[in-house]
A and B are shown apart, each in its own frame.
Chain A
Amino acid sequence: MFLRTKTLVAALAASTLLASGATARELVINTDTSDPAPKKAFEQLIADFEAEYPDIKVTWNLFDHEGYKTSIRNFLTADSPDLANWYAGNRMLPYVKAGLFAPIDDVWDEHNLHETLAPAAASMTIDGKKWGIPYTYYQWGVYYRLDIFNKLGIEEPKTFDELLAACDTLNANGITPITIGTKYLWTAAGVFDYLDLRTNGYDFHMALTQGEIPWTDDRVRAVFANWKKMLDHDCFIDNHPSWSWQEALAPMVQGEAAMYVMGNFAVAPLREAGLTDDQLDFFQFPVIDPSIPLAEEAPTDTVHLAANAKNVEEAKLFLAFLARPDVQTKINATLGQLPIAKGAEIADDKFLREGYEMLSNTTGGIAQFFDRDAPAEMAKAGMEGFQEFMVKPERLDAILERLEKVRQRVYK
Chain B
Amino acid sequence: MFPKPIQSAPAPARIAYKAALPVALVLWLLPLIAVALTSVRSAGDITAGNYWGWPTDFHLWENYTAIFENTPIGKYIWNSFRVTIPTVIGAVALSCMTGFALAVYRFRANLLVFFMFVAGNFVPFQILMVPVRDLTLQMGLYNSVTGLALFHIAFQTGFCTLFMRNFIRAMPFELIEAARVEGVSEFRIFWYVVLPLMRPAIAALAVLIFTFIWNDYFWALVLTQGADSQPITAGLYSLNGQWVAAWHLVSAGSIVAALPPVLMFFLMQRHFIAGLTLGAVK
Query: Does any Cβ of B come within 8 Å of A278's Cβ?
Result: no
Is the pair B234, A64 in contact by a Cβ cutoff of 8 Å?
yes
- Tell me the total A-B contact number using a CB cutoff of 8 A: 100
Which one of A3, A70, A247 lies within 8 Å of B245 (CB-CB)? Answer: A247
Asked, given contacts A4-B140, A254-B48, A273-B43, whether A268 binds B237 with beta carbons under 8 Å apart, the answer is no
Chain B contacts for A111, CB-based, 8 A: none
Q: How many of chain B's residues touch chain A, expressed as a range?
A: 20 to 34
Query: Does any Cβ of B come within 8 Å of A115's Cβ?
Result: no
Query: Does any Cβ of B come within 8 Å of A78's Cβ?
Result: yes
Q: B residues bordering A, Cβ < 8 Å?
A: 43-44, 47-49, 70, 133, 137, 139-144, 221-222, 225-228, 234-235, 237-245
Is the pair B222, A34 in contact by a Cβ cutoff of 8 Å?
no
Chain A contacts for B237, CB-based, 8 A: 64, 66-67
Which one of A34, A79, A246, A273 lies within 8 Å of B142 (CB-CB)? Answer: A79
Tell me, in angstroms, the Cα distance from A268 to B242 when the chains sit together. 12
Instruction: Tell me the smallest distance from the CB of A110 to a CB of chain B, in Å.
Output: 31
Tell me, in angstroms, the Cα distance from A70 to B240 when the chains sit together. 17
Chain A contacts for B137, CB-based, 8 A: 78
Chain B contacts for A78, CB-based, 8 A: 137, 142-143
Is the pair B225, A71 in contact by a Cβ cutoff of 8 Å?
yes
Which one of B49, B222, B234 lies within 8 Å of A74 (CB-CB)? Answer: B222
Known: A67-B237, A254-B48. 10 other contacts (CB 8 A): A35-B241, A67-B238, A74-B222, A244-B245, A250-B48, A253-B47, A269-B244, A272-B43, A272-B47, A273-B44
Tell me, in angstroms, the Cα distance from A74 to B223 when the chains sit together. 8
Chain A 2-53 residues near chain B, CB threshold 8 A: 2-6, 30, 32-38
Which one of B141, B240, B245 lies within 8 Å of A2 (CB-CB)? Answer: B141
Chain B contacts for A246, CB-based, 8 A: 47, 243-245
Chain B contacts for A411, CB-based, 8 A: none
Q: A residues bordering B, Cβ < 8 Å?
A: 2-6, 30, 32-38, 61-67, 70-71, 74-75, 78-79, 244, 246-247, 249-251, 253-254, 265, 268-270, 272-274
Instruction: Tell me the smallest distance from the CB of B86 to a CB of chain A, in Å.
Output: 15
Is the pair A34, B244 in contact by a Cβ cutoff of 8 Å?
no
Is the pair B227, A62 in contact by a Cβ cutoff of 8 Å?
yes
Chain A contacts for B225, CB-based, 8 A: 30, 61, 63, 71, 74-75, 79
Tell me, in angstroms, the Cα distance from A122 to B111 when the chains sit together. 64
Chain B contacts for A64, CB-based, 8 A: 234-235, 237-240
Can you pick out 9 interface pairs between chain A and chain B where the beta carbons lie within 8 Å of each other?
A2-B139, A4-B144, A61-B226, A65-B241, A67-B237, A75-B225, A250-B48, A269-B243, A272-B44
Instruction: Tell me the smallest distance from the CB of B228 to a CB of chain A, in Å.
Output: 7
Is the pair B47, A249 in contact by a Cβ cutoff of 8 Å?
yes
Is the pair A74, B142 in contact by a Cβ cutoff of 8 Å?
yes
Is the pair B238, A63 in contact by a Cβ cutoff of 8 Å?
yes
Tell me, in angstroms, the Cα distance from A110 to B225 when the chains sit together. 34
Tell me, in angstroms, the Cα distance from A394 to B225 when the chains sit together. 44
Instruction: Tell me the smallest distance from the CB of A398 to a CB of chain B, in Å.
Output: 28
Instruction: Tell me the smallest distance from the CB of A185 to a CB of chain B, in Å.
Output: 16
Chain B contacts for A2, CB-based, 8 A: 139-141
Instruction: Tell me the smallest distance from the CB of B141 to a CB of chain A, in Å.
Output: 7
Chain B contacts for A35, CB-based, 8 A: 241-244
Chain A contacts for B244, CB-based, 8 A: 35-36, 246, 268-269, 272
Chain A contacts for B47, CB-based, 8 A: 246, 249-250, 253, 269-270, 272-273
Instruction: Tell me the smallest distance from the CB of A74 to a CB of chain B, in Å.
Output: 7
Is the pair A253, B48 in contact by a Cβ cutoff of 8 Å?
yes
Is the pair B226, A265 in contact by a Cβ cutoff of 8 Å?
no
Chain B contacts for A74, CB-based, 8 A: 133, 142, 222, 225
